[in-house]
Amino acid sequence: MKGWYKYFIVAVLIGGTIYGLNVKTTSIEEKRPNIIYVLADDLGYGDIAIYNPEGKIKTPNLDAMGSAGMIFTDAHTSSAVCTPTRYGIITGRYNWRSPLKSSVLTGNSKALIPKKRTTVASLLKKEGYETAFIGKWHLGWDWALKNPGLESGEGWNPEDFDNIDFSKEVKNSPKTLGFKYSYGHCGSLDMAPYVYVENGMPTMVPDSVTESKTKYGWWRKGPTARDFDFDDVTPNFFRKSFGYIKEKAKGKSPFFLYLALPSPHTPILPTDEWKGKSDLNPYGDFMMMIDAYMGQLTEVIRQAGIEDNTMVIFTSDNGCSPAAKIDEMLAKGHSPNGILRGHKADIFEGGHRVPFMVKWPAKIKPNTKSDKTICTTDLLATCADIVDVELEDDEGEDSFSFLPLLTNPASKDYLREATVHHSINGSFAIRKDNWKMIFCPGSGGWSDPKPNSEGIGELPKFQLYDLSKDPREENNVYGQFHEVESALTRLMVTYIENGRSRVGEKQKNDPEGYGTKDWKQLEVFYN
């Protein structure tokens, strides 16, 4: 063989190999889905018709999304209230391992998640994803201060915001946690300050103070920017999301969008088009409005030509709130939390069992259903599984990939052993198989029997329910199944002491913060 020809053949082979590798890499990249995670706020298990055929709220678009993919019947948030659940979604770690051991943050709270902690956004960003947060943050960030040496109040009173310099950049905002684009407000929509922050900068300096005391549409008194129209906040977030999807669909990189709605949480503000449409109350109208916007979201994805390989998740951060006037809706035949006991804030199922649906045409067959118990902390491990990244020991300590379930609803490759629930006052429960053990005598929240209420000391100190026989949690069998009780208690203590529930090296829980000195909720395990 002539020398030049030999080198030519070698060059072709090498080039072909390189080309083949490039094709393979491109193929892998093309298979990575866009991921859109839509988190509703205070939406109950019974508020979507596909979950509650007896319900009175029409949700044709969400029903269609569920029918086109998979619905989970036994999905849970890691907490029964806003901030803690959002912490778990972003970090894959139970909220009670953070410094916040109970309750929620305000619009004036410091950032809860440190920069060093891996988040869903930072993991996907490293893997080449475009990443965005749009909506209600409620995980704290660090406002610029006029006088850094002056201590401000917690954020429940209007004067607590007097020291904020709204003309300067916010520190430790979503963009420091992996979100390349971010736009939203700090706390709940009923928590001041009412200011949009885009990529770390307030979009306007507030020039007025507003307050609403209406029955459904109330919000606390506080500084308000001129571009912050309460009635338009939810539509605004959807419009921003539509624009983001259209833009990123034209690019070569996959994208992750975390759309955190402030609704149907208070203030309950359906737009004029939807007022009175549910024949229930404004909450029902608000739900129908959200459903309509989810229909528009689906259409934007379809028109962008990315529907087949876009995974859309829709869920809620906890159960329906009594602020929705649940009794009014029950009187008209609609139960926002379905047959479940309790509501937002409670350790009972109505506090933390939520709708959870996933649409991903390339992977999920239509009209599929999984009865596996999953948790909202599972997003991080699922995303890591999608991009074939192995989590380190100090990442996603309570996160388990549900990716195997999307193609096989009964898959044994979903490795969650048990799930820990948490109420607003920091009470614990643990769920394994059909058994749920609650480590307090009442709701741990806002429904009866409330913590420290009259007569609660006469109740059994713990609760045990077999949810396969008693889904309404009406028959407390604590004291009748000692082996089950001992095993669940040991497992709960192990999860606490190991700093993790996923297999791996022992980790430390964060020390108490936000004004708490003693993690008093642990006393029940050691007395």
The pLDDT mean for the chain works out to: 94
Task: Dump pLDDT digits (tens) for 334-348.
Answer: 999 999 999 999 999
How many CB atoms neighbour CB 494 within 10 A? Answer: 12
Go through the domains of the chain in sequence order and give each one's CATH number. Answer: 34-412 (3.40.720.10), 422-525 (3.30.1120.10)
CA dihedral 401, 91, 66, 472 (to 10 degrees): 90
Q: What is the pLDDT of residue 14?
A: 44
CB within 8 Å of 192: residues ≥ 6 apart: 107, 108, 155, 158, 161, 219, 220, 221, 222, 223, 224
Share of the chain above pLDDT 70, in %: 94
Note whether 359 and 68 are within 8 A (CB). Answer: yes
Task: Dump pLDDT digits (tens) for 420-475.
Answer: 999 999 999 999 999 999 999 999 999 999 999 999 999 999 999 999 999 999 99
The answer on pLDDT for 12 being more than 60 is no
Strand order in the sheet with 255-260: 201-202, 197-198, 181-185, 130-136, 255-260, 34-40, 310-316, 353-359, 70-76, 368-375
Amino acid residing at 237: F
The answer on pLDDT for 222 being more than 50 is yes
User: What DSSP letter does each residue of 419-465 carry, written as one string?
Assistant: EEEE-TT--EEEEETTEEEESSSS-SSSSSSPTT-TTGGGS-SSEEE
Q: What is the pLDDT of residue 515?
A: 59
Distance from C-alpha of 40 to C-alpha of 376, rounded to nearest angstrom: 13
